[in-house]
Structures are given as structure tokens and as C-alpha cells.
């Protein structure tokens, strides 16, 4: 497609679209949304969970689940043709040829029992009359365009034989092989590591510029938005809050909700100095963890890990998936037994201790997924009191203490008799934090504890961590993949790659003056490193 | 791949061993004295003692077990207490009819059940789905022998299309062989059609919720192509599993069906042996069927790798 | 779409908590009450209720003796005196069907209790302790390989057909399946964050099993229990039909069908009346099981 008359007519025009559940709820889940996307333009639809952003993009593909959701009003014009009123057959013809989609989970978006070559080929098979050889040639050339290596081999590979980034490239190849006018990308990089994310964003941009494709990019991540968006559509609970060009939304949002959302994004600016004069709470010395049999099948999940956490300090362990950061945390907690090394807690090495009960009280753990870390069948009171009662506290006393701790995490004691399913994700994570600190541990391990939360909730929970540290002087080992979050609250950082520590030191030093190329690469890959979201302006000092 | 097959075959040996021990122990430790059962209530104590000795029952249990296992390992399944013939010979004589009945039943069940299940999944929640699923519950709620008798009554007695009962070996010609096999196979296949169709439906529906199905739809595929091209292939593993389980479960039904249709197969052999208290033969047949079960499981395991590339050995 | 599913997050620090709904323990009760909203479940429950009442109040339902022989009135067609006619020994068919329901329900309930109890114990042990698993699951594998009906026939043949023998013979082959299911649940839940969280809080083994693991087996056990109930009634009728079940003098539906075999071409109703009762009972239990499964445990739909 070349740019001819498209400049005046938008490729996509969403007009007053309303989407409701079947049967209709009290309030439609998407209400009266309107926006346009022009050829070659990238429009980011930003919102938190429950904003209706994904549902809107599914409606554009005509892929809303038939028995659960339906569009009750408005038009979705694709080059002037209303996709909401075309026939099933016409909609099928439009898919992949005029409008394509890239999904969030590259791990599950491809059929596991067919080769990826077959799956890309299928698009050509149903939409073109090309011969088998012709199709094969086109598929291979498209695979080259998405920068896959060794395309002949990849063609014959099954999805499980490829990495997450490679799979996402296959999905993109599939989406763009027919040169559609519009590409819908639904959180296409959320499940990927930050370095892979950067490559995929670059790839989408590159192909978009070559073909003049219009792109609708659905995301929750303002970092990504600020990198790629021409214009931004902000959604909140089914309403369109505001639209504007990228710079305007980031520097001068008009609506309170947008202001709150943008300012919740942590900046890459280190805020906390290291606490060198405090006593050591945790010393990990030469810790290693190997899986499998020594020799061929051995996997080194963590190797020769040594670091220290001081009283009142928040130490971050940073790394991408597979870096071994969670393995280290689990070894410190003794949820996993370390193969070698010492874990010295308040002067006592707990690595060889067999009776775990004795050490468990001093270290507590907060899990990533607040939906699975609370037993759904037990009340909040039962969950909070369990540890105290295990260690011999009378029930009445434990109940009082649990109630006091709930208030510390900003939840009223009145919620004690409720069950976890009655709370939102952020509230559950507060409960999980309360369950940990009620034990009065010396060390708190937070394993990606804010990763599953929306950005505004994440900001609240991060503030809560700092608040608790202030009040109780607790030490925190904070495991995260997110440099921004680490910059926000950590005093010191440990950077891990492939099971080894590549660099550690004060947060400020590591982020502003990294000594290892991998740390440098991580910082470079983080989207929008130079924007101070909290203050709606560029960072004064380039990091 | 080859090393996996060898490993998997080797791993079946302890299971067979366990089966042999269990069969022996269950039959030997069950309350009741085999000698009394065989000799009848009027036997004198001397006669009983003699019988026990000839059956080897007076030796210590462990010794009996070792003798039994050693014999089994040599392929010696013992001698019938009644006819004096080797158990293997009795089994070989009766193997043909049972094999014919089982094979035709399994083929019929698979051919009918998979399309039924796919159609039900496709029409999920609609009339056709409800009909198929309703019939399916009925299918395994009615005892096989009742289905058998209904078929005999309608198709043999009233319509006269098929002989009422009996069996003709294939060597006597295909038509008489097939004629006598139709009704028992249909009767016996009912519960398995019901079972397999349900599993096919459930798994296809489950697969239809996967992300890659959405991807397939986003390519512009027709719903039927999504169903056949993407969903069925991914539902293959549980479907193969249930087919394997069905074949293994068939044995109980075979006993009943052979009894109703008067087919001289292994099922009848078991019943005759039970009525005559012929322990060696009972043990041998149970062990044979257990071994078949283990082998089927083995084949099913190996088939997984064929249908799912993620399973590599 | 997955990012849109969680509950909307309150935007401010002030809390907006949803209204109290039935949660946790009361949830199960709500589900059990809720299943009666489907018409198929209602009909099934009604049929079962009638059969249960019939068996409990058998002497009130019929005045005939189900055992008394009376050769003078052999093979009579249905009449006012004998609602379903008489069998080849001149016994009242209706009375035998009414009393026969006692045997079927007893065998069903007994099998469920035995199979679930032993299956649960073995399942918990194998799911929790690796070394027990290695040993016990081999035994279970072996037991599963032995065809249940054949094993039952053999057991009954050796020990003589009494109600207890038949019950044990039917229940034993069911144990490995229950054990496997419980083991699967326990092993699956071991890695759940909330179980790890409890272990971090110093929760010991038995409280862990009792509070955090076993509750997860309740729903699948109820569902599997109903299917075992149905299967047991079916197997009893097959065993008795083959002459390897309950002693022939006891009126059971299976025995009635065994008695009717000789006269099948002459009077098929001798087999069909009890056959319909078996089918109806098993069908109702299975349908109830399906509804229960859909409500309690959708993943169980893959059950074999």
C-alpha cells in the first residue's frame, strides 16, 4: 500500500462504540468511544486493567466472544467500511488482509502442534491463490524481514523450540505478510524481557514505516507509550478519558485521571542513598543452586552469589527472566535448598539448618501473584493469625495484633472476617504484606511483589513498602525485573544475568555509572529513560 | 526416541510383575479354601489334604509365589484343574472370537464417537449438542446386556435381520462371521461411544478457548477449519488416552456380551472357570488381560509423541 | 483480554469494599443448593428420592413377600394382584423390584464409602511423601491394570457370594482412581503460592494438609463419588447377572435379570423391568454427577 488518498481519510475510525455484556449489565463495559487512526500513524490506547482497552481492539477484529460480549452501538469504519455490519464471510476476508492482530502472549498465541512455517503459510493459503512454492518463498522472505535467523530451520520448527521473542516475530510475520492497512497490537511486549521488548518495538516501527501501516497499540505501560506513540487515547473503566498527541499527554495532561496515571510511573532517577553504617541483617556468601544431575543435564540456576542487606535497607535484585533472581530469593527463604554457600541471618547461617520452623519467623516472603498467595477458603483473620498461632501466641492476642497490622497497611480491621475473593489485587497484596509483617521479621523478601499490579496501585504499594520500612526499620530484599521500580525504592542493587551477579553497588552508582555492559544494555532497553513522569517533564540530568 | 521406547518397555516390566504378585495374592489371600470349593462340601478331610498338596497349597505362601512367578516368566501359565490341559492352550482356543469382537467394537466406537463429539463441541449448548450429550449419558447408564437383549429382540427376533446368537469363525466365510458379529459389537460399543464422544467434546471445547484458536480466527479461517485444523489436533492426546482406557475397560463388557450372545470367547472361558473353580485358568486369563492393559498403555504413551511435538523423548 | 478480567482497582486510598458474598465454606453449600436450579438435576433428584423412599419403606409400598415361592402362579402377566406380574418361581415382580432397590443403594453407598476413604488416605500419603509415592503408586498401577469386573468375579467365586464380598470386590478396583485424583490435587496444590506462604509462616505438616490441601479435594471427591455410586450399581447388576454376585436367594435387580435369562425370548419383561430400574437409577445419579461436576469442578470434565 502506498500513501495516496489515505492522508485525508483515516484508515480506522471508531465512532461512538459501546460494548455490553450478554445479558446486558448495569453499565456497558465500553461506553461511547470515538477515535481515528491515520495511515502510518501509531495510536496508543492506554489504560489499567478493566479499562476496556483490549475489548475494544477485539471488537475491531470482530473477535468478541459471541456468547459473552456484543457491540450495542456505534460504528468501526475500516477504510470507510463498517466492520460491525459486514457479513461473517466478509469479516473473515478482511482479517489478516486488511486488519491484523498481534497478541500479548507469544507463548500461547501459536498452535503448539503445527510448525510455525505452516502457520504463517496458512494465511497465504486462505487469502491468496499462490502456488505452494510461491507461498513458501513469500513466507521465508517475510521471516527474513522480521529478522529471524536461519529461516529454513525456523520454518520447520514448532513453537516450543523458539524463544519468546522469536515467537512474537512469527506472530508479527503472520500479521503483516498480507500487508494489512491496520495492525492491532494488544500488549505485544508485556510478556517479554525488556531487551527483547526493545527489539520488537523497533521491528514494528520499521515495518510500519515501510508499509505505511496504521497501528493501534494497546498497552498499560507509559514507558512504551512515550517511545512509540504519535497520539494517545486514555481509557478508564470503559470511558475514553482523553486523547491527545504524545507530548501533550505526557507533559500537560488535561484530566485528573490522566495526571494520576502518568505521575504513578516511577522515574529512572535513583532516590535512596545506601545505608553503610547500619548493622548487617543478611549476608549471602558464595550461594549456588544447581538442578539436575552433575554433568550433562545440570542447570546452574545461581552461581557464587554474594551480597549483603543492612538494617533498614531495601536491596534490589534486578534481572530478566531466567537470571536466577527468584532462585536466590527462594534459597534465602529456604523454600529451595541451596546447593552450596551460606545464608547468614543476624549472624546465624541458616543454610544447613534442618528445623526450618526456627528460622521461618525471622524471614517473611511476599509472592508475585496476589490472587494465588492467599488461601481462597480462609478468612483474612485466619490467614493473618496463622503464623502467630503457629508460634504459640494465644488466639485472642493474635487477633488483636492482626487487626493492628491491617491498619498499618491501610485496611480497616473490619475486613477481618472476609474472604480473599472480595478484594481487588492491590488490596490482596496489602493483606499479603500484613501477613508477612505481623510476624515481625528481620527481613522481608518481596518477589516481584508489585509486578502484577496496575501502575497506580503499584505506586501505592511501593509507598507502603517505604512507609513500613520507615516505621519498623525492617530490611527488604526486593526482587524485580523493572528498573524503574528499583530506582524508586532501592538503596542498593544487585544485577543478575544467567545465574551470576554481574554488578552490585549503591543504586545511584549502578544506574548512573554502570560498569558492566549488561547493566548498560538493561538501562538502554528501558523505555523512556529520560522522562520524569512524576513531574511531567524530561529528567533534569540525563541518566 | 529409540532409547525412550526401550526405557518405556522396560518400565512396563515392574508393573507386570506387580500385577502378577497382586493377582496371586488376591486369589490366595481371599477368605475361603480353594480345596473346599473344588472338592465340594462332602469331601473327607483326607481328600481335601490330598487336593491341597497336589495344588501346592501346603507350601509356604512365599514359596508358592516364587514358583508362580518363575513359571509365568517361562510362559507356563499352569494346567487346568478340571480338564488337565495347559491354560495357554485353553486361552489360545478362545482368543479368536474375543479378538474379533473387541476389534470391531473399538473401530465402531472410534468411527462413530469422534464425529459425534466434534459436532457436539461445534454446536455447543444448542439442540444437537444437548441431544448427543443426553444420549451419551444414557449410553453408559444402561447395562450392556440390556442393550444386547433389546438388539436381539428387535433386529433378530422381530426383524429377523441377524441370527439371534452364536459365532462363526472367519474361516467359515466372511458373511456368517460378520452377520453374527454386528449385534454384539453394536451393543458393546454403546458405552464406549458415549464415553469417547464426551471426552472429544470436552477437550475440543477446552482447546477452543486457547489463545492460538483466537490467532487462527484472526487469520480469517472459517470456524470449521479452526475446529478441524487447529482444535482437533490439540485435543488428540486426551482423546488417545480415553481410547486406550476404553480398550482396557472393554474386558468387563466382553464377558457380559459373550455371555448374552453365546460367543465362545475368553469371557465365557472365565465364567466357565469361575463356575468350575478352576483357579489356574482364572489366574491366567486375568494376568493375560492385565498384560494387554499394560501393553495398550505403552502404545498410548508412545502415540503421544506422534501427536504432540512437545513430547520428545 | 486477560488484562481486563481482574476486578477494577479502586483509584484512591479510600476503600470501596464490595458487599459480603457467600465465600469459603458457605460457598459449597450455595453450590449444592444451586444445582437444583437445573431441570435435569431436579428430575434426577426426584427419581432418586422416590427410589430411596421406596427402599426405606418397602414393606409399606408392597404387601407381597419378595422371596416366597409360589409355583402355582408362575410367569403371570401384570394384573391388579401382581402389578408387574410374577417370575418363573411365582414371586411378585413388583415386590422384588421394590426390595431390590435396597441392595442396589446399599452396594452403591458402601462402595463409595470404602473407595473414597481408602483412596483419600492413599492419595494424601502418596501426594505428600515422595518415598511413599514410589512404593504405593506402583501397587496402584498394578491394581489398575487388573480388569475390575474379572477381579470381582474371581473374588466372589473364591470367597463365596455374600454382600460384603461383592461390595469389597466392587470397591477395590475403584480405589486407585480415587487415590490418583487426590494425589494429583495434593501435588498440584503443593506449589501454589498460598501453600508456600503457609509454610513460610511455620505451618506444620498436618495443619497444612488439613487446612490448605484437603479442602481442595472435597469438590472432586463429591463428583467422583457420584460416578462411583452409579458404576457400583451397574457392576453389581453385571456380577449378579453373570451368576457371580449376590447370593441368588436375595432379591436384587441383577439376580432378577439372571433369573429372567432363561425365559428371555418368551417373556422379555422379566429382564426389562429390573433393567429399566438399573438404568433409571444409574442415569439419575450420572446426570446429577454431571451437574455437580459443572458446578463444582469444571476441570474434572476430563475425567476418564
Q: What is the DSSP letter of A415?
A: G
Maximum distance among all alpha carbons in chain C?
Answer: 89
Which pLDDT score is estimated for C35? 65
Q: What is the mean pLDDT of residues B83-96?
A: 87
pLDDT band for position C28 (cuts 50, 70, 90)? low
- Angle, nearest 10°, between helix axes B236-261 and C148-159? 40
CA of B310: which chain A residue's CA is closest?
A160
How far is residue C91 from each of residues A313, C66, C95, C238, C298, measured CA to CA in Å?
A: 88, 6, 8, 22, 46
pLDDT, greater one: B35 or A541? B35
Mean pLDDT of chain A: 90
Is A157 a member of any domain?
A: yes
pLDDT of A20 > 80? The answer is yes
Q: What pLDDT, on the 0 to 100 scale, is given for residue A293?
A: 72
Q: Do A297 and A169 share a domain, yes or no?
A: no
Q: Are residues B212 and B169 in the same domain?
A: yes
Is B6's pLDDT higher than 80? yes
The reply to whether B17 and B137 lie within a common domain is no
The x, y and z cell numbers of residue C142, run together, are 498394578
Predicted local distance difference test score (pLDDT) of residue C138: 83
Indicate whether this model's pTM tops 0.90.
Answer: no
pLDDT over 60 at C299, yes or no: no
pLDDT single digits (tens) C152-161: 888 887 777 7
Q: Which of B49, B40, B122, B81 is nearest to B282 (CA)?
A: B81
Q: Do A112 and B234 touch (CB under 8 A)?
A: yes
Q: Is residue A54 part of a domain?
A: no
Least confident of A52-61, B118-127, B163-172: B163-172
Split into its structural domains, chain A has a count of: 2
Confidence (pLDDT) at C249 = 82
Contact C138 B14 (CB under 8 A): yes
The whole-number pLDDT of residue C3 equals: 37
Domain containing B289: what range? 94-307
Question: Does any CB of chain B come closer than 8 Å to the CB of residue C153?
Answer: yes
Q: In this structure, is residue B30 part of a structural domain?
A: yes
- With CB atoms and an 8 Å threshold, state whether C154 touches B286: yes
Sequence-separated (6 or more) residues with CB below 8 Å from residue A296: none
Say if B28 falls within a structural domain.
Answer: yes
For A162, A522, B209, B313, C76, the CA distances from B310, given in Å and listed in that order, are 12, 32, 20, 10, 65
Q: Please tell me the total count of domains within chain C.
A: 1
Q: Is the pLDDT confidence value at A296 over 80?
A: no
Q: Are residues B45 and B168 both part of a single domain? A: no
- pLDDT tens profile B256-308: 999 889 899 998 898 888 877 787 888 888 888 888 888 888 888 888 888 88
Q: Tens of pLDDT along B110-149?
A: 999 999 999 999 888 888 998 998 888 888 899 988 899 8
Q: What is the mean pLDDT of residues A42-54?
A: 90
pLDDT at A333 over 70: yes
Q: Verify that B29 and B142 share a domain, yes or no.
A: no
Within this chain, do residues A169 and A284 fall inside the same structural domain, yes or no? no
Q: Are residues B199 and B256 in the same domain?
A: yes
Chains in contact with A, where contact means 3 or more Cβ–Cβ distances below 8 Å, are B, C
Which whole number is the average pLDDT over A415-428? 90
At residue A479, does pLDDT exceed 70? Answer: yes
A392 and A507 co-located in one domain: yes
Residue B139 sits in the same domain as residue B178 = yes
Q: Are residues B228 and B112 in the same domain?
A: yes
Q: What does the pLDDT look like over A378-387, one tens digit per residue?
A: 999 999 999 9
> Which of A189-198, B187-196, B239-248 reaches the highest mean pLDDT?
B187-196
Same domain assignment for residues B258 and B135: yes
Q: Residue B26's pLDDT is what?
A: 78
- Domain with A509 in it: 280-525
Quick one: three-class SS letters along chain B?
CHHHHHHHHHHHHHHHHHHHHHHHHHHHHCCCCHHHHHHCCCCCHHHHHHHHHHHCCCCCHHHHHHHHHHHHHCCCCCECCCCCCEHHHHHHHHHHHHHHHHHHHHHHHHHHHHHHHHHHHHCCCCHHHHHHHHHHHHHCCCCHHHHHHHHHHHHHHHCCCCCCCCCCCHHHCHHHHHHHHHHHHHHHHHHHHHHHHHHHHHHHHHHCCCHHHHHHHHCCCCHHHHHHHHHHHHCHHHHHHHHHHHHHHHHHHHHHHHHHHCCCCHHHHHHHHHHHCCHHHHHHHHHHHHHHHHHHHHHHHHHHHHHCCCCCC
Structural domain boundaries, residue C151:
99-301
Q: Which residues of A touch B (CB under 8 A)?
A: 61, 63, 67, 92-97, 100-101, 103, 105, 108-114, 122-123, 126-127, 158, 160, 171, 174
Question: Using CB atoms and an 8 Å cut-off, which of residues 135-174 of chain B contact chain C?
Answer: 137-138, 140-146, 149, 153, 157, 164
Residue at A342 is within a domain: yes
B238 interfaces chain C, CB cutoff of 8 Å: yes
Provide the CATH number for the domain around residue B150: 1.10.3720.10
Same domain for B55 and B182, yes or no, is no
Residue A59 included in any domain: no
Q: Do B141 and C271 touch (CB under 8 A)?
A: no
**Residue A3, pLDDT above cutoff 60:** no
A182/C132: higher pLDDT: A182
DSSP state of A532: E
Say if residue A427 is in the same domain as residue A286: yes
> Which residues 188-217 of chain C have a CB within 8 Å of chain A?
192-204, 207, 211-212, 215
C9 or B49: which carries more pLDDT confidence? B49
Could you tell me the CATH number of the domain that includes residue C233?
1.10.3720.10
Q: Average pLDDT in the B3-10 region?
A: 81
Number of independent structural domains in chain B: 2
Mean pLDDT of A94-114: 90
pLDDT at C12: 34
Last residue of a domain, one of A119, A149, A179: A179
Interface contact flag, B32 C257, Cβ < 8 Å: no
Closest chain A CA to residue C27: A377
How close C277 gets to chain B, by Cα (Å)? 10
Question: Within this chain, do residues B130 and B195 fall inside the same structural domain, yes or no?
Answer: yes
Q: Is the model's pLDDT at A1 over the cut of 50?
A: no
**Residue A291: phi, psi to the nearest 5?**
-115, 155
CB contact under 8 A, B214 and A109: yes
Residue A142 has pLDDT above 90, yes or no: yes
pLDDT range class, residue B1, cuts 50, 70, 90:
low
Judge whether B270 is closer than 8 Å to chain C, CB to CB. Answer: yes
Is residue B247 a part of any domain in this protein?
A: yes
Residue B86 lies in a domain: no
**One domain for residues A157 and A299:** no
Specify the higher pLDDT residue, A479 or B273. Answer: A479
Residue B277 lies in a domain: yes
The mean pLDDT value for A383-398 works out to: 93
What is the tens place of the pLDDT at every residue in B209-227?
A: 889 999 999 999 998 899 9
Q: What is the pLDDT of residues C217-260, one digit of tens each?
A: 988 898 899 999 999 999 999 888 888 888 888 888 988 888 88
- Any domain includes B312: no
Express as a percent the part of chain B with pLDDT over 90: 24
What's A447's domain CATH number?
3.40.50.300
**C259 close contact with B: CB closer than 8 A:** no
Q: Are B239 and B204 in contact (CB under 8 A)?
A: no
pLDDT of residue A50: 83
State how far the Cα of A66 lies from the Cα of A11, in Å rounded to an integer.
Answer: 26
- Residue A272 has a pLDDT of 83
Angle between helix C130-145 and C175-190 (nearest 10): 150
Residue C123 has pLDDT above 90, yes or no: yes
Amino acid at each position: 500500500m502506498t500513501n495516496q488518498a489515505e492522508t485525508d481519510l483515516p484508515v480506522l475510525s471508531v465512532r461512538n462504540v459501546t460494548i455490553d455484556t450478554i445479558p446486558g449489565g448495569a453499565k456497558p463495559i465500553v461506553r461511547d468511544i470515538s477515535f481515528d487512526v491515520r495511515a502510518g500513524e501509531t495510536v496508543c490506547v492506554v489504560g489499567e486493567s478493566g479499562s476496556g482497552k483490549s475489548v475494544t481492539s477485539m471488537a475491531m477484529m470482530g473477535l468478541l466472544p459471541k456468547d459473552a460480549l456484543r457491540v450495542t452501538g456505534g460504528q468501526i469504519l475500516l477504510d470507510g467500511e463498517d466492520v460491525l455490519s459486514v457479513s461473517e464471510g466478509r469479516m473473515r476476508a478482511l482479517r489478516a488482509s486488511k486488519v491484523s492482530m498481534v497478541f500479548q502472549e507469544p507463548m500461547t498465541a501459536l498452535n503448539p502442534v503445527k510448525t510455525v512455517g505452516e502457520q504463517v503459510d496458512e494465511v497465504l493459503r486462505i487469502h491468496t491463490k499462490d502456488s505452494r512454492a510461491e507461498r513458501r518463498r513469500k513466507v521465508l522472505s517475510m521471516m527474513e524481514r522480521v529478522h529471524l535467523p536461519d529461516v529454513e530451520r525456523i520454518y520447520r520448527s514448532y513453537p516450543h523450540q523458539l524463544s519468546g521473542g522469536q515467537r512474537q516475530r512469527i506472530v508479527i510475520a503472520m500479521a503483516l505478510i498480507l500487508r494489512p492497512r491496520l495492525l492491532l497490537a494488544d500488549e505485544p511486549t508485556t510478556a517479554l524481557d525488556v531487551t527483547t521488548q526493545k527489539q520488537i518495538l523497533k521491528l514494528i516501527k520499521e515495518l510500519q514505516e515501510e508499509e505505511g501501516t496504521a497501528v493501534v497499540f494497546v498497552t498499560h505501560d507509559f514507558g512504551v507509550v512515550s517511545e512509540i506513540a504519535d497520539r494517545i487515547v486514555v481509557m478508564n473503566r470503559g470511558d475514553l478519558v482523553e486523547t491527545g498527541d504524545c507530548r501533550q499527554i505526557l507533559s500537560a495532561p488535561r484530566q485528573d485521571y490522566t495526571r494520576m496515571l502518568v505521575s504513578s510511573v516511577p522515574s529512572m532517577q535513583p532516590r535512596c542513598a545506601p545505608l553503610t553504617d547500619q548493622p548487617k541483617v543478611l549476608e549471602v556468601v558464595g550461594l549456588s543452586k544447581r538442578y539436575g544431575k552433575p554433568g550433562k543435564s545440570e542447570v546452574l540456576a545461581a552461581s557464587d552469589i554474594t551480597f549483603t542487606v543492612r538494617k533498614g535497607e531495601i536491596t534490589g535484585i534486578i534481572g530478566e527472566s531466567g537470571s536466577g533472581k527468584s532462585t536466590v530469593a527462594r534459597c534465602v527463604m529456604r523454600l529451595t535448598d541451596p546447593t552450596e554457600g551460606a545464608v547468614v541471618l543476624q549472624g546465624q547461617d541458616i543454610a544447613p539448618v534442618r528445623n526450618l520452623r526456627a528460622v521461618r519467623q525471622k524471614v517473611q516472603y511476599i509472592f508475585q501473584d496476589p490472587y494465588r498467595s492467599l488461601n481462597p477458603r480462609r478468612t483474612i483473620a485466619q490467614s493473618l493469625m496463622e503464623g502467630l498461632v503457629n508460634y504459640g501466641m494465644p488466639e485472642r492476642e493474635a487477633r488483636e495484633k492482626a487487626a493492628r497490622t491491617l491498619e498499618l497497611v491501610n485496611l480497616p480491621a473490619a475486613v477481618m472476617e472476609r474472604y480473599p475473593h472480595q478484594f481487588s489485587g492491590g488490596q490482596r497484596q496489602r493483606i499479603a504484606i500484613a501477613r508477612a509483617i505481623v510476624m515481625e521479621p528481620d527481613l522481608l523478601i518481596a518477589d516481584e511483589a508489585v509486578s502484577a499490579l496496575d501502575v497506580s496501585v503499584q505506586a501505592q504499594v511501593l509507598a507502603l513498602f517505604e512507609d513500613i520500612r520507615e516505621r519498623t526499620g525492617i530490611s527488604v530484599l526486593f526482587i524485580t525485573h523493572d528498573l524503574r521500580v528499583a530506582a524508586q525504592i532501592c538503596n542498593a542493587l544487585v544485577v543478575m544475568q544467567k545465574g551470576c551477579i554481574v554488578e552490585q553497588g549503591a543504586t545511584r552508582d549502578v544506574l548512573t555509572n554502570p560498569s558492566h555492559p549488561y547493566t548498560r544494555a538493561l538501562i538502554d532497553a528501558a523505555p523512556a529513560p529520560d522522562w520524569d513522569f512524576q513531574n511531567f517533564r524530561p529528567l533534569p540530568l540525563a541518566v | 526416541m529409540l532409547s525412550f521406547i526401550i526405557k518405556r518397555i522396560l518400565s512396563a516390566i515392574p508393573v507386570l510383575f506387580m500385577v502378577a504378585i497382586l493377582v496371586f495374592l488376591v486369589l490366595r489371600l481371599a477368605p475361603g479354601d480353594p480345596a473346599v470349593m473344588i472338592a465340594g462340601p462332602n469331601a473327607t478331610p483326607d481328600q481335601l489334604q490330598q487336593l491341597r498338596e497336589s495344588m501346592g497349597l501346603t507350601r509356604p505362601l512365599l514359596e508358592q509365589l516364587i514358583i508362580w512367578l518363575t513359571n509365568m516368566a517361562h510362559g507356563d501359565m499352569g494346567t487346568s484343574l478340571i480338564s488337565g490341559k495347559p491354560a495357554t492352550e485353553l486361552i489360545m482356543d478362545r482368543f479368536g472370537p474375543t479378538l474379533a469382537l473387541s476389534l470391531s467394537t473399538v473401530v465402531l466406537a472410534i468411527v462413530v464417537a469422534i464425529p459425534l463429539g466434534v459436532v457436539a463441541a461445534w454446536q455447543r449448548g444448542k439442540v444437537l449438542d444437548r441431544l448427543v450429550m443426553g444420549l451419551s449419558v444414557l449410553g453408559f447408564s444402561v447395562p450392556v446386556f440390556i442393550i444386547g437383549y433389546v438388539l436381539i429382540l428387535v433386529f433378530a427376533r422381530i426383524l429377523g435381520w441377524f441370527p439371534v446368537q452364536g459365532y462363526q469363525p472367519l474361516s467359515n466365510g466372511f458373511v456368517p462371521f460378520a452377520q453374527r458379529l454386528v449385534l454384539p459389537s453394536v451393543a458393546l460399543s454403546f458405552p464406549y461411544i458415549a464415553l469417547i464422544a464426551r471426552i472429544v467434546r470436552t477437550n475440543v471445547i477446552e482447546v477452543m478457548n486457547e489463545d492460538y484458536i483466537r490467532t487462527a480466527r484472526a487469520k480469517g479461517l472459517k470456524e470449521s477449519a479452526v475446529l478441524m485444523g487447529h482444535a482437533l489436533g490439540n485435543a488428540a492426546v486426551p482423546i488417545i488416552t480415553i481410547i486406550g482406557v476404553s480398550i482396557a475397560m472393554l474386558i468387563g463388557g466382553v464377558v457380559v456380551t459373550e455371555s448374552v450372545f453365546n460367543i465362545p470367547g475368553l469371557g465365557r472361558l472365565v465364567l466357565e472357570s469361575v463356575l468350575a473353580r478352576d483357579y489356574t485358568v482364572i489366574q491366567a486369563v486375568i494376568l493375560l488381560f492385565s498384560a494387554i492393559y499394560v501393553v495398550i498403555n505403552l502404545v498410548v504413551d508412545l502415540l503421544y509423541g506422534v501427536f504432540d511435538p512437545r513430547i520428545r523423548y | 483480554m486477560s488484562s481486563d478480567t481482574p476486578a477494577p482497582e479502586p483509584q484512591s486510598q479510600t476503600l470501596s469494599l464490595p458487599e459480603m458474598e457467600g465465600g469459603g465454606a458457605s460457598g459449597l453449600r450455595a453450590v449444592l443448593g444451586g444445582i437444583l436450579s437445573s431441570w435435569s438435576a431436579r428430575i434426577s433428584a426426584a427419581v432418586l428420592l422416590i427410589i430411596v423412599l421406596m427402599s426405606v419403606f418397602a414393606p409399606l409400598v408392597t404387601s407381597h413377600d419378595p422371596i416366597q415361592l409360589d409355583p402355582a402362579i408362575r410367569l403371570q402377566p401384570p394384573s391388579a394382584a401382581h402389578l408387574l406380574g410374577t417370575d418363573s418361581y411365582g414371586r411378585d415382580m413388583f415386590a422384588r423390584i421394590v426390595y431390590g432397590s435396597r441392595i442396589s443403594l446399599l452396594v452403591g453407598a458402601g462402595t463409595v464409602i470404602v473407595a473414597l476413604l481408602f483412596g483419600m488416605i492413599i492419595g494424601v500419603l502418596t501426594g505428600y511423601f515422595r518415598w511413599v509415592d514410589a512404593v504405593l503408586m506402583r501397587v496402584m498401577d498394578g491394581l489398575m491394570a487388573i480388569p475390575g469386573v474379572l477381579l470381582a468375579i474371581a473374588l466372589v467365586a473364591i470367597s463365596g457370594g455374600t454382600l460384603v464380598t461383592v461390595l469389597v470386590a466392587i470397591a477395590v478396583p475403584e480405589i486407585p482412581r480415587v487415590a490418583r485424583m487426590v494425589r494429583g490435587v495434593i501435588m498440584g496444590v503443593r506449589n501454589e503460592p498460598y501453600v508456600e506462604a503457609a509454610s513460610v509462616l511455620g505451618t506444620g505438616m498436618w495443619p497444612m494438609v488439613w487446612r490448605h490441601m484437603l479442602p481442595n479435594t472435597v469438590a472432586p471427591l463429591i463428583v467422583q463419588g457420584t460416578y462411583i455410586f452409579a458404576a457400583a450399581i451397574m457392576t453389581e447388576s453385571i456380577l449378579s447377572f453373570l451368576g457371580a454376585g449376590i447370593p441368588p436367594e436375595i432379591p436384587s435387580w441383577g439376580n432378577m435379570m439372571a433369573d429372567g435369562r432363561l425365559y428371555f425370548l418368551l417373556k422379555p419383561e422379566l429382564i426389562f423391568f429390573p433393567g429399566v430400574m438399573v438404568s433409571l437409577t444409574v442415569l439419575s445419579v450420572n446426570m446429577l454427577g454431571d451437574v455437580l461436576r459443572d458446578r463444582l469442578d469444571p476441570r474434572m470434565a476430563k475425567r476418564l
